[in-house]
Copies of this chain bind each other. A is one copy, B any other.
Amino acid sequence: MRTKNDIKQKALFEATIKLVNEIGFASSSVSKIAKEAGISPATIYVYYKNKEDLLVSTYIEIKRNMSKAIQKDFDDSLPIRDGLKNIWFKIFEYVSTHSAYFQYAEQFSNSPYSSLVDKQEIEKYFDPMIQVIIKGIEQKIIKNVNFEILTAFIFYPIIALSNPRICQDFDLSDENIETAFKLAWDAIRF
């Protein structure tokens, strides 16, 4: 299936995200997505097996893209707090500059489509961050509690603050992000 015309595939990727964000999965039909991308509905089936494949592949592609951006220039020799703070800012930066991608991913992962994706595959992308936290626990810098609790305080507030559907008026200024990190660090540090 994978083919030569990358321009069309990219247009399709962007059109899918745009339309799903605007009108939701329910109303985003194959032909509307095709029209938005400037191609024929039939052409979608050259690139993807079916509609579900299009939606799932788009999600996975976003996640891959996101993890790559976040881990770019990642330096695991930094002290724990600095390493986490670095990631913290990277995530906010990605979310700010790719808010449509992020919003699509959020909507997707809150829908039953999410069960079609191998979560471990996705989590693998974010392993370096996990390693920092584990190191922090070992060094008794981070509280030694259930791992899910820790991530709920390090990553989930980011998602809430970045999501315009949740925090409509939150200003993603460096100062605010810095303040937020302070809270996150207070939550998890020993």
Q: Identify which of A5-13, A132-140, A141-149 touches chain B.
A: A141-149
Do the beta carbons of B152 and A157 come within 8 Å of each other? yes
Do the beta carbons of A170 and B148 come within 8 Å of each other? yes
> Which of A21, A143, A150, A160: most chain B Cβ within 10 A?
A160
Main secondary structure of the interface of A (DSSP, over half): helix
Give complex CA distance A146, B145 in Å: 27
Q: How many residues of A contact B (CB 8 A)?
A: 46
Among A141-179, those with CB < 8 Å from B are 143, 145-146, 148-153, 156-157, 159-161, 163, 165-170, 176, 179
Where the two chains meet, the residues of A that have a C-beta atom closer than 8 Å to any C-beta of B are 21-27, 106-107, 109-114, 119, 143, 145-146, 148-153, 156-157, 159-161, 163, 165-170, 176, 179-180, 183-184, 186-189
Additional 16 contacts, C-beta under 8 A, given A107-B111, A150-B183, A184-B187: A24-B111, A25-B26, A26-B26, A27-B112, A109-B165, A109-B166, A110-B111, A110-B165, A146-B170, A149-B161, A149-B180, A152-B157, A152-B160, A152-B167, A153-B153, A156-B166
